[in-house]
């Protein structure tokens, strides 16, 4: 019998098949060769069931029914992909062994485990554990397949994480929503992230700016001119500041101290996903999600970078040879000049800024693969360019500077000068033209502490400490202290990554140093979730909290469950989950603790006074309904209240823009309602009875017409339509993803 290989996505499955079964027969949902049958999941084929799967009473949100604590969690197929799940089951009957070829990480392990559990697959399992999809890595991975049982503890940790998130998210969201009569989404990761943004915004709003005065003087010594900043207590008296400037202007002075030292700046760390997202946000204004999508395309579709969902900035010893080969490959590309000047000897196993196995968990840093980049889209090229230049920089020596510090005294007043003289650019020749030459340490930019501002020069600099100087000019400038800056997606990602640094518990702080809030793969989705539920909004690049977001944090904190808004809970969880994955802690005990915490949330919310409706923005609940986001801890499906709110938003806005004339029967099984046209969508007349079916008129830039609606309901998909993504044009169908909710998705012709 053959071996069934289950990849995480279609592109990945086809890429693997091209290596291990190049002559495989191509069927629509699998490929079959002499030894292997290769098929795939399509992301999560299964997820945790919603509460109403345990009892019909949970269809209506009622505080009296809380907490919901399933003895055994049920998993349910995604309706959109149930045919693929069935295909896997049928193929497995013809195979005597399985290979788990899902992504090499906790979530990939979980996807395979759910399939195995649902289909009751009992065949022995091998694990493919690779970090890129090049032919060389796939071939090597299959030659060195690992035993599936090696990863049993990782599976336990993955399922514990999912079920714990469900317990807290489902129960807390229902508790706060039913208590305060407004849809409030609560989750282990999203709520502390919202708290970060809320606290920053409160700091900005309560900031009291202080006016102060800075004195800058210009000095001349023979042909050398330089400037210095006055040293002393911060001046808040305008007259005193002006008096000092007047006192020194035109007067002779002397250099009391002159220090020169050589300094070096080494290349920035190799990219992990979060660092890549931060740079792409700063340089191109890309959201975290957009950068992740672009990086995923470079990995899966173009196969020009290694696995992007990594949290490591380092590589293992076995990656060094591949890095040298990638350098050679780049010599035949547009990066030829930079690659040819690179020095392979600088990248070796002893270089701890590159090779540090102790800091590599599931995956190493993001690297270019040995495949040359072909026709990349403009945005894909921008992300690829960041990765390649960061990679190449490690084959160059450090940038070298002379650091000059001059202390000049005039009329008993002291001035300090910092000059950074460039000697050699080193690795900085790899930076693109718009990169600051002194970016790595923040030097060369305007500093918050103006006293330590320094001048970056490329010409030789020197003064004679024994020769006199003259103060040619001096001026007192009015300044004002600045509030903290509002978060951008880039700076928020950094805050999420380092969220545990302020924790008092040293052990938790150490865990959070490695984990942060969320994972590199989920942080983008968390930010998108906060937007969709109406907690945050974007003002250009700046993130601001809505009134609903403010109230949510205040209610949670005032209920006495501050832990929900703190990184501490994630720190505690990640510590235990890591121990579970290593076989050092029991899954059962962790889940018991989560259940106790869930019960305590319900009890504290029960005694909380109901919030006044005025504390929420008018129409905010409807806005949250329109978001079509994932419910916190719901395994990726909207809650029944969210569905109901969406249907209400579609049908309740019909005044003057739609028709109450029934267009079709509601496809939701057992509903009996009719679909009518509203201002923004087609919703069910039974939304008051809990039906959440709605199809929105605007989808991916297309307007859903009556004819398209009819086709979607009858055939489940539209005909091929033309779409644009930046400069790229492509054809796809709009597919009715879920006939119970009306959720749509695009089905690309090449997927």
Gap between the Cα atoms of 360 and 368, Å rounded: 17
Nearest residue to 426 (alpha-carbon basis) of 265, 262, 268: 265
Q: Return d(Cα 79, Cα 441) in angstroms, integer.
A: 51
* Continuous segment of H or E residues that includes residue 128: none
Q: How many CB atoms lie within 10 A of CB 294?
A: 23
State yes or no: cis peptide before 67, omega within 30 of 0.
yes
- Alpha-carbon distances, residue 349 vs 305, 318, 502 (angstroms): 21, 9, 34
- Length of the chain equals 751
CB atoms closer than 10 angstroms to residue 192: 23
Residue 583 carries which DSSP code?
T
Asked if 677 and 658 touch (Cβ cutoff 8 Å), the reply is: yes
Of 286, 307, 335, 682, the active-site residue reads 307
Q: Tell me whether residue 439 is exposed, middle or buried, using C-beta atoms within 10 angstroms of its C-beta: 0 to 12, 13 to 18, 19 or more.
A: middle
CB-CB contact of 713 with 736 (8 Å): yes
Active site residue 307: yes
**Measured between alpha carbons, how far apart are the two ends of the chain, in Å?**
29
At 560, list the tokens: 């006495």
Q: Give the distance from CA 673 to its chain's centroid.
A: 40
- The closest of 690, 634, 663, 638 to 73, measured between CA atoms, is 634
Residue 294 makes CB contacts below 8 A (sequence gap 6+) with 280, 286, 379, 380, 382, 383
- What radius of gyration do the chain's Cα atoms show? 30
What span, in angstroms and rounded, lies between the C-alpha atoms of 404 and 261? 7
Catalytically active residues are 307
């Amino acid at each position: 019998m053959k071996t069934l290989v289950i990849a995480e996505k279609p592109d990945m499955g086809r890429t693997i098949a091209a290596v291990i079964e190049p002559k495989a027969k191509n069927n629509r949902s699998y490929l079959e060769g002499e030894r292997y049958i290769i098929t795939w999941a399509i992301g999560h084929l299964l997820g945790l069931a919603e509460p109403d799967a345990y009892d019909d009473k949970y269809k209506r949100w009622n505080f009296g029914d809380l907490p919901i604590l399933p003895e055994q969690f049920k998993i349910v197929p995604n309706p959109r992909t149930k045919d693929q799940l069935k295909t896997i089951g049928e193929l497995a009957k013809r195979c005597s062994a399985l290979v788990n070829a899902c992504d090499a990480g906790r979530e990939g392990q979980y996807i395979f485990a759910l399939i195995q559990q649902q289909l009751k697959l009992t065949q022995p399992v091998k694990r493919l554990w690779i970090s890129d999809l090049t032919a060389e890595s796939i071939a090597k991975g299959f030659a060195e397949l690992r035993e599936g049982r090696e990863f049993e503890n990782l599976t336990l940790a993955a399922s514990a994480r999912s079920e714990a998130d469900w317990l807290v998210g489902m129960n807390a969201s229902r508790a706060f929503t039913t208590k305060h009569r407004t849809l409030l989404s609560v989750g282990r990761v999203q709520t502390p992230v919202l708290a970060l943004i809320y606290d920053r915004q409160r700091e900005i709003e309560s900031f009291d700016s202080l006016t102060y005065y800075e004195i800058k003087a210009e000095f001349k010594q023979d042909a050398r001119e330089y400037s210095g900043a006055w040293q002393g207590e911060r001046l808040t008296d305008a007259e005193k500041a002006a008096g000092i400037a007047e006192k020194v202007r035109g007067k002779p002075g002397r250099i009391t101290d002159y220090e020169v030292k050589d300094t070096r700046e080494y290349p920035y760390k190799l990219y992990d996903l979060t660092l890549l997202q931060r740079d792409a946000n700063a340089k191109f204004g890309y959201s975290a999600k957009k950068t992740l999508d672009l990086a995923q395309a470079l990995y899966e579709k173009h196969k020009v970078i290694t696995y992007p969902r990594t949290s490591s900035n380092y590589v293992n010893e076995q990656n060094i040879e591949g890095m040298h080969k990638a350098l050679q490959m780049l010599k035949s590309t547009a990066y030829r000049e930079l690659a040819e000047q690179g020095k392979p000897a600088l990248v070796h196993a002893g270089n701890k800024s590159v090779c540090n196995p102790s800091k590599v968990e599931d995956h190493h840093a993001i690297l270019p693969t040995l495949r040359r980049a072909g026709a990349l889209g403009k945005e894909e090229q921008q992300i690829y360019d960041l990765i390649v230049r960061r990679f190449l920089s490690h084959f160059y020596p450090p940038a070298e500077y002379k650091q000059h510090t001059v202390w000049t005294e005039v009329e008993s007043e002291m001035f300090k000068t910092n000059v950074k003289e460039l000697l050699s650019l080193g690795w900085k020749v790899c930076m693109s033209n718009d990169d600051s030459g002194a970016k790595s340490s923040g030097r060369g930019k305007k500093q918050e502490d103006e006293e330590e501002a320094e001048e970056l020069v490329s010409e030789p600099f020197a003064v004679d400490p024994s020769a006199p100087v003259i103060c040619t000019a001096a001026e007192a400038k009015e300044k004002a202290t600045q509030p903290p800056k509002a978060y951008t997606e880039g700076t928020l990602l950094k805050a999420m990554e380092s969220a545990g640094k302020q924790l008092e518990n040293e052990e938790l702080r150490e865990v959070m140093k490695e984990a942060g809030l969320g994972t590199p793969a989920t942080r983008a989705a968390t930010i998108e979730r906060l937007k969709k539920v109406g907690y945050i909004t974007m003002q250009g690049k700046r993130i601001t909290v809505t009134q609903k977001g403010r109230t949510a944090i205040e209610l949670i904190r005032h209920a006495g469950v501050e832990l929900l808004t703190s990184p501490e809970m994630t720190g505690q969880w990640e510590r235990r989950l890591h121990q579970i994955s290593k076989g050092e802690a029991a899954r059962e005990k962790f889940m018991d603790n989560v259940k106790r915490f869930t019960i305590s949330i319900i009890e504290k919310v029960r005694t909380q006074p109901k919030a006044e409706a005025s504390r929420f923005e008018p129409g905010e609940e409807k806005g949250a309904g329109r978001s079509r986001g994932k419910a916190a801890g719901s395994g990726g499906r909207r809650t029944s209240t969210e569905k109901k709110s969406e249907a209400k938003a579609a049908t309740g806005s019909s005044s003057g823009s739609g028709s109450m004339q029934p267009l079709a029967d509601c496809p939701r099984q057992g509903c009996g309602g009719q679909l009518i046209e509203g201002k923004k969508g087609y919703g069910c007349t039974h939304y008051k009875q809990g039906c959440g079916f709605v199809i929105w008129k605007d989808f991916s830039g297309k307007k859903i017409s009556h004819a398209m609606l009819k086709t979607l309901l009858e055939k489940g998909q539209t005909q091929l339509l033309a779409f644009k993504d930046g400069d790229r044009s492509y054809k796809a169908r709009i597919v009715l993803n879920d006939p119970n909710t009306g959720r749509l998705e695009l089905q690309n012709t090449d997927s």
